[in-house]
């Protein structure tokens, strides 16, 4: 009897998971709603245990970002990246410096504090995943840093578009702000997508230009913490993203196809946010603790406020 119930329960979980996943591919589900749906079924224990949502998210996110490359205008991409290089570099090193100071002030584990600062400075979970092996961080240090960043990412997905509309920000300015001030690429693209297509193009381009700094920061981190610089890896999806942009630029006769790929990639991104929500639970929130979370919040608010003031004033 018990075995029958267990099998029925697993079947029900699979059906719920698949149905919601398919719905997220349709236009009726927005990015924030997808995240909430994922978090809800994770909290209720309805995510099938044998499905590795983290691994699936990583693959689908890379695929969706490459697809978004087909909708990027080269001239606009170059202008957005080169014109804001100072802002990108300045925000990265300001965040890392502030993270080091606050980590010592709050007496937080130095490797955990550095991972949170790196995730805030560059691109959230991807940066943490790249820096962690370089500084030989353990699972606990890495998981706390990831939990902190993922929670703040979830909040950003809702809060940033609201602030942008309240301030009457232009598509360009909002895309730039979200690219610098939101951690993970998924949440950056999700928030920008909710704001508009121009914001999405700017945010994606600037965010991935910022993500390239994973490599030098990971190398520097390995030297500072006397870790293993050989474990630093290059995110290949960034290279494929650039290839997609080049294809769309040099073969403009397939514009209709690129438009379709761009649309599909945006919907695939919503599915990714659903999967990310499936990995966020109450337990994960509690495990982060208040000191790492306090560090993450202070870094995030400072970066977001300073960058917003710079963009709006200058």
Q: How far apart are CA 105 and CA 227, in angstroms?
A: 24
pLDDT in tens, 219-268: 888 888 876 656 666 667 778 888 888 899 899 999 999 999 989 988 88
- d(Cα 304, Cα 145) in Å, to the nearest integer? 19
Q: How confident is the model at residue 120 (pLDDT cuts 50, 70, 90)?
A: very high
Q: Which 3 state secondary structure label does DSSP give 124?
A: helix
Q: Measure CA 259 to chain center.
A: 23
Across the chain, mean pLDDT equals 85
Q: Helices 74-83 & 236-250, crossing angle to 10 degrees?
A: 130
What is the sign, positive or negative, of the torsion defined by CA atoms of 214, 186, 159, 200? positive
Q: How far apart are CA 260 and CA 247, in angstroms?
A: 15
Total-model pTM: 0.77
Phi-psi region of 164 (alpha: psi -120 to 50; beta: other; left: phi over 0): alpha
Could you read off the pLDDT of 195-216 as tens digits, one per residue? 998 999 899 889 888 887 887 8
| Residue 230 burial by Cβ neighbours in a 10 Å radius (0-12, 13-18, 19+) | exposed
168: left (phi over 0), alpha (psi -120 to 50) or beta: left
User: Cα–Cα distance between 266 and 195 in angstroms, integer?
Assistant: 13
Q: Check: CB of residue 216 under 8 Å from CB of residue 198.
A: no
> Residues 14-43: pLDDT tens digits?
899 999 999 999 988 887 788 889 989 988
Phi-psi region of 109 (alpha: psi -120 to 50; beta: other; left: phi over 0): beta
Task: State pLDDT tens for residues 295-311.
Answer: 999 999 999 999 999 99
Dihedral sign (CA 261, 201, 297, 138): positive
**What percentage of the chain carries pLDDT values higher than 70?**
92
Per-residue pLDDT of 264-283, as tens digits, reads 988 888 898 888 888 777 77
Q: 285: pLDDT confidence band, cut at 50, 70 and 90?
A: low
Q: What end-to-end distance do the CA atoms of the chain give, in Å?
A: 69
């Amino acid at each position: 009897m018990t075995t029958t119930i267990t099998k029925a329960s697993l079947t029900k979980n699979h059906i719920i998971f698949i149905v919601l996943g398919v719905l997220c591919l349709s236009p009726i589900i927005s990015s924030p709603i997808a995240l909430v749906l994922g978090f809800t079924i994770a909290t209720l224990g309805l995510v099938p245990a044998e499905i590795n949502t983290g691994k699936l998210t990583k693959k689908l996110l890379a695929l969706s970002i490459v697809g978004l490359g087909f909708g990027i205008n080269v001239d606009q991409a170059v202008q957005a990246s080169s014109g804001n290089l100072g802002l990108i570099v300045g925000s990265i090193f300001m965040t890392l410096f502030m993270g080091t100071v606050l980590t010592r002030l709050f007496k937080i584990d130095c490797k955990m504090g550095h991972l949170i600062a790196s995730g805030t400075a560059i691109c959230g979970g991807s940066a943490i995943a790249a820096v962690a092996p370089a500084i030989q961080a353990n699972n606990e240090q890495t998981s706390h840093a990831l939990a902190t960043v993922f929670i703040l990412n979830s909040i950003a997905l809702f809060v940033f578009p609201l602030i942008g509309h309240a301030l009457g920000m232009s598509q360009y300015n909002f895309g730039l702000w979200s690219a610098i001030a939101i951690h993970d690429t998924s949440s950056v693209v999700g928030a920008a997508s909710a704001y508009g297509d121009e914001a999405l193009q700017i945010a994606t381009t600037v965010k991935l230009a910022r993500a390239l700094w994973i490599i030098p920061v990971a190398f520097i981190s390995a030297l500072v913490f006397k870790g293993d610089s050989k474990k630093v890896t290059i995110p290949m999806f960034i290279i494929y993203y650039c290839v997609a942009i080049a294809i769309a630029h040099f073969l403009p006769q397939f514009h209709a196809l690129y438009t379709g790929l761009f649309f599909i990639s945006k919907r695939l991104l919503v599915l990714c946010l659903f999967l990310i929500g499936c990995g966020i639970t109450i337990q994960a929130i509690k495990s982060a603790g208040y000191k790492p979370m306090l560090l993450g919040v202070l870094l995030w608010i400072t970066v977001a406020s300073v960058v917003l003031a710079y963009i709006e004033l200058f």
